[in-house]
Every structure is written in structure tokens, then in C-alpha cells.
Amino acid sequence: MIALSVCPPRASAQETPQIVGDPIPHEKVLRTSTYRDCGLRKEAVDAFVTHRSSAVRPKQANATIEVSYGSNFPSEAQAAVERAADIWETHISSPVSIRIQASYEALGPGVLAAAGPNSFYGVDATGNGEAEAIVGDALAGALLGEDPQPGGTDIIVNVNSERDDWHFGEEPAPAGTIDLTSVALHEIGHGLNYLDLFSVEGEQGEYATAMVEGNQAVGVYDRQVLGAQGDNSFTALTNEDVYPNPSAALADALTGNQLFFGGEASQTTAALGNGPPRPRLYAPSQYASGSSIAHLDEATYPFETQDALMTPIINQAETNRQPGPIMCGQLRDMGWPLGPGCNRYFRDLFAVEAQAAEAAAGGLTLSWTERENADIQKYIVDRRYFGGPFQTIRQVDASSLSGSRLTLEGLGIGAFTFRLRWRRSDGTVQTALGQPRDTVRVGDVATTLTERDAQGRGTVGLSWTVPPGTPSGFRYQIERRAGQGGEFRTVATVRQDGAVGEAQNKQYTADRQTPGRYEYRVTAQDGSGNAVTSGAREVQIDFEGDVFALGPYPNPVRETASFDLTARQSQSVTVEVYNMLGERVYTDRREVDAQAPASVSIDVSQWASGMYFLRLRGDATVGETQKMVVVQ
């Protein structure tokens, strides 16, 4: 029996896997509260070998990995971890950010580092409402298309601070050192779900399971682990008819050096090397917790090979900064959507590779490359709207196309992922390599200063275009920030009542705007809270002098007098108020940012009725004196 991927070919009842049950803390699955040892060991022999991929440029990143560091994490060590994260961003694909919490702490002699998911989740990939497997945070987010725990940590990485042989630099590791970039790349791989839940105690082998909504689910990696049988067949170690859990039979398999990783993708990439037809896993006769099973076999994939990253041994002066084809295949078999760094190993398997989605008049143009003599009768274009399921939006006969391009009109506003499929003459459907993404925002955003009133205030007009195909229920938040920098704040909302059949122009007018510099943008948000934001457009309402003051209002005033204040350059401005006798009754000093209108409020409720005079003094100039009448 061969184990199946958690994300099988798209013939299942649903297009997008679903989470079943609540998050499961890693300590309840792994029986450890802290990742302290992944089993990676140093070999005190200089390898002087370097594996680095030059086929992928950083701009081809299909994932975002954010790393937070403990307070004592050295900056040069941070650079090494960031380098590893950058590599992974080009090898996997995920629509949600992957967050890593990295610590630099004492892990004990012999240990290099340790890592793993923060939490696990039951995943239903077939639509039957039951979890087929449990997966870690990062893989769950990639499968679902949304963050299972927004803002939470996805991967924990701990680096041993007691070592004095770390190599932190970008260049290959010199003699006697261990390349931290390579180790971090290895450890992040464990956090991406390259880890098992097997163990051996005495003569009994077992694997951890999790109760998810009344059903026992096993680890997605464990479902792929196969034991070789005497008749040249393979059986999944999670097949309890052959390997009861727990059992001596399972212990024998876990220590018999005859374990392999099952799956079409990993078998394909294993064929790119000189090893066995299926990836061989590390399963020595003496079970080694942390090393056994969750690594490739060291003897089969030594440091000279392209698949050495996920073996349990790293040599001194071994610089390995590529996951390698087998690991890419294993990730694909576990359900990971891959980026260009991994997909390059699979190009020969696909007749079609989708390359780009580019903005076109009234829509987007999807382009692809096609292998010669490909048996393609019909193309099927599926679209994912934000993080939702794929839905078919276009089917077209291949014979009707003049080239490998297709314009998709009337998409409307949204963040889209496209999937290209094709139907063969025998009726089978295959999926193209690559899933291009693009975002359609409101267009033609422009600002104009239309008029000035007697006090110098301006009227700002904002206009934008809603693209055709935008569904009903959208609202457009007008966001503004003043000065140079700072936060955008919502100042108004314009609603859309019906769907937009053709491009539609919309406008917003802001009256009586105090002189200064402003930036406006438009955030389009649908009824479910999905949003895309336009680029910002600037408008400048100029004024004379170094400091501009507008007010007071109201005038006469009874309780609170308000003033608008703008400074040409960032500076401290002193606000002073004098009574008719020339006595100063109020003073305050304000830090005013350049061109950023600010409001000043003065409580006058305890002042006597009469005439008062407001004076503003900047760093270099004194502004005009303003009169203010207080009536009690």
C-alpha cells in the first residue's frame, strides 16, 4: 500500500483543503515543550564542497518569511538565518506570511540547532469532513490560502549559542567551521513539516496521533513513510494491518534501514540522482531520536550529492544552500505548493507551464509556454479570489487560440491566483506548472486642487476608476495622511450599490483643507473584508511664510478654541496667548512636522470674557497675531 499526499490531485470533492478542529500545540504531538535537538550532527572532517543554486533570482520569491529574533541573537547570525529564509522564499509558495521565532540559546554539547512547527492542525483534503492528516502551521496556511492563526508564530528555530565554530558569512564555509546558513536552511525545512512523529521505546515502535473531532489523524510526513517488503513491494508504516501501533514490528521497521519516502513527486526527483527509485530515509539499527526517519539516509546521499541538505550529518566546510530535488519532491508529496526553485525539477513532467498574469486593458492576460506535440484539446482557467477556493472562469478550445496567451476580461477588483489546466484527447485533465498571481485595484487615481477660499484653505478633488466586473457590495475607503510620512487615516467611505458592468468613474471632494502636503489613496473592500489598496497620490496646498495658522474657531469662543497649524519645515512652535493688558495667559510648545497640518486646542472655559491675542513663534520666525474673543 502506498501512502497518499494530503493534497491529492484535484479530482476530490472540494478544491481547497479545510481545517478540522482546533489548533494542537506542538508539545501535545511531540511530547516536548521546546525544540532542543533535531538530530543534525557535525562531522569533524572538512568537506570543502559547495552546493548553491544560481537558477533562481531573489525576485522570483513566491513566499514571504518573516523572522523575529531573541534579544541576544548576534547580528551576523541573523544575517545567516535571513539568507536561509530568502532561499526558502524561492522554493515554496504560500499566499500568507510564514513567521519564524528564532532564539540563540545554550542547547548542550554536540547540538547544532533545532526547529519545528509551533502548532499542528487536522486537515480535510477530500471533503468528507474528517482530518486525513495533521500538518504544521506553515503548511496549513499554504494549503488553506489563509493564515490559520493570524499574527501567531508558525515555526520555532533554536540555534546553539555555545558553539564557537559557526560560520556566519555569505562566502563558502572555511576549514573547521559549520555554515550556519546551511544549518538554518535545514532547520527551517523541519519547520515546513519535514519531521516525523515516530519513536522507539524498548522493543516497541509507535507514532503519535492526534484526536481531531473524534477521529485519529497521523502526521502528513508519517503517511508517506514506506517499509520495503520481501516481495519488492512497499507498505506504509501507518498501515496498522501490517504495523500495529505500537508494536515490535513497527520498531523493527524503524531500525531496519529499509525505509523510503513514497509519492509520485519524490520518486520522480529521486530518479534525477544515482540513488534508489524512492528516497531512502535514515533508519539506523540504533534508533536515534531526532535523527532517525526525519532525514535522508547519509550513506545514500553523502555531502558530495545535491540531496545532502536533509541528511543527519553536516561536515565542516560543507556549504549546502539548496534544498535539492528529492526534498522538493517530498514537500510536493506532502502538499506544498512549490516556487520556481523547486519547480525547475518538475518541468519535464508538465506539458504546460503558466508564467505570468499581466494587466491588460479591461482585464488581465495570462500567458504560458507549451511543450511541442502536447496533446491539448481544451484549456481551463481557474481563478482564486483572495484566499477562497479555485473556480473555473473560462474554458476555451486550444485550436481557437493563435498563441499561448489568453485575455481575461471583467475580473473586477481583487487579489487573484490563476490555475491553468488542460484536457487531453482521452478526457484526462492535467494542471499546469505554476500559479501566477496578480492584483486588480481601482485605477486612474488622481488628485486635483480646485479652488482656495479667503482663508487659504483648499478644495481637494479625488477621482478613481472602478474596473469592469467588480461585484456589488464593495465600498471605497478614502484614506489620507498629512505631511511626509505618518499613518493613513480613513476620512470617508463611498459605497457601491450594484455590480459594475463597465468601467465606472467615482469621485470624492474634501473641502476646506488646511494648507500643507497630503497624500490620498483608495482602499477597495468587499463585503467579506477582503481589501486591496491603490497607490498614493499627492496634493500640495501651499502657503506663505514659515508657519501658517488658521483660526480660532469658533470665534467668539466659550469653551474650547481650536487652531490649524502648519509649518514649512519640521520645527518647534511656541503658542502664546495674551490678554488686553499684555499679560501672557497661556503658553505651549508643539513639535510640528513639515507640511503636516496639526490641530491646536485651548481650553478657555475659565477665562474672563474679553479680547485675547494669539501669537505663534517658530524656530526662526514669528507668525501673525490672531485675535480671539472669549464670551462667558
List the CATH number of the domain containing 378.
2.60.40.10
Q: Tell me the β-bridge partners of 99.
A: 66
pLDDT(471) > 60: yes
Higher pLDDT, residue 543 or 126: 543
Look at residues 304, 338, 372 and tell me which one is the last residue of a structural domain: 338
Instruction: Indicate whether 10 belongs to any domain.
Output: no
Query: In total, how many domains does the chain have?
Result: 4
Residue 526: the pLDDT is: 94
Could you tell me if 59 and 163 lie in one domain? yes
Instruction: Indicate whether 27 belongs to any domain.
Output: yes
pLDDT(144) > 60: yes
Weakest mean pLDDT among 106-110, 184-188, 445-449, 622-626: 622-626
User: What mean pLDDT comes out for the span 135-152?
Assistant: 92
Average pLDDT in the chain? 89
Residue 157: the pLDDT is: 97
Could you tell me if 236 and 302 lie in one domain? yes
Residue 205: the pLDDT is: 96
What share of the chain in percent tops pLDDT 70?
Answer: 94
Could you tell me if 521 and 579 lie in one domain? no
User: How far, in Å, CA of 413 to CA of 439, rounded?
Assistant: 8
Could you tell me if 490 and 616 lie in one domain? no
Instruction: Indicate whether 250 belongs to any domain.
Output: yes
Q: Is 395 helix (H, G, I), strand (E, B) or coil?
A: strand
Report in angstroms the alpha-carbon separations of 53 from 57, 80, 173, 572. 9, 16, 16, 54
Banded pLDDT at 2 (limits 50, 70, 90)? very low
Could you tell me if 24 and 113 lie in one domain? yes
pLDDT tens-digit readout, 541-550: 998 888 888 8
Could you tell me if 258 and 383 lie in one domain? no
Q: Is 119 helix (H, G, I), strand (E, B) or coil?
A: strand
Could you tell me if 235 and 107 lie in one domain? yes
Could you tell me if 180 and 298 lie in one domain? yes
Instruction: Indicate whether 130 belongs to any domain.
Output: yes
Q: Which three cell numbers stand for residue 415?
A: 487579489
Instruction: Indicate whether 88 belongs to any domain.
Output: yes
pLDDT(87) > 80: yes
User: How far, in Å, CA of 202 to CA of 184, rounded?
Assistant: 32
Banded pLDDT at 621 (limits 50, 70, 90)? low
Could you tell me if 362 and 277 lie in one domain? no
Look at residues 440, 466, 490 and tell me which one is the last residue of a structural domain: 440
Instruction: Indicate whether 9 belongs to any domain.
Output: no
Could you tell me if 447 and 596 lie in one domain? no
Q: Which residues contact 38 (CB under 8 A, 6 or more apart)?
A: 112, 113, 114, 115, 116, 186, 187, 190, 195, 290, 294
pLDDT tens-digit readout, 491-541: 999 998 788 888 889 999 999 999 999 999 999 999 999 999 999 999 999
Give the range of the structural domain holding residue 363, as residue numbers without chain letter: 347-440
Look at residues 499, 519, 541 and tell me which one is the last residue of a structural domain: 541
Could you tell me if 127 and 216 lie in one domain? yes
Instruction: Indicate whether 3 belongs to any domain.
Output: no
- Identify which of 211, 264, 217 has the alpha carbon closest to the alpha carbon of residue 238: 217
Report in angstroms the alpha-carbon separations of 330 from 138, 217, 434. 15, 20, 18
User: How far, in Å, CA of 61 to CA of 174, rounded?
Assistant: 29
Could you tell me if 496 and 573 lie in one domain? no
pLDDT tens-digit readout, 181-240: 999 999 999 999 999 999 999 999 999 888 887 778 899 999 999 999 977 799 999 999
Instruction: Indicate whether 136 belongs to any domain.
Output: yes
User: How far, in Å, CA of 420 to CA of 366, rounded?
Assistant: 9
- Identify which of 585, 576, 590, 574 has the alpha carbon closest to the alpha carbon of residue 608: 585
- Which helix (H) or strand (E) is 353 found in, with range? strand 352-360
Tell me the CATH number at 598.
Answer: 2.60.40.2550
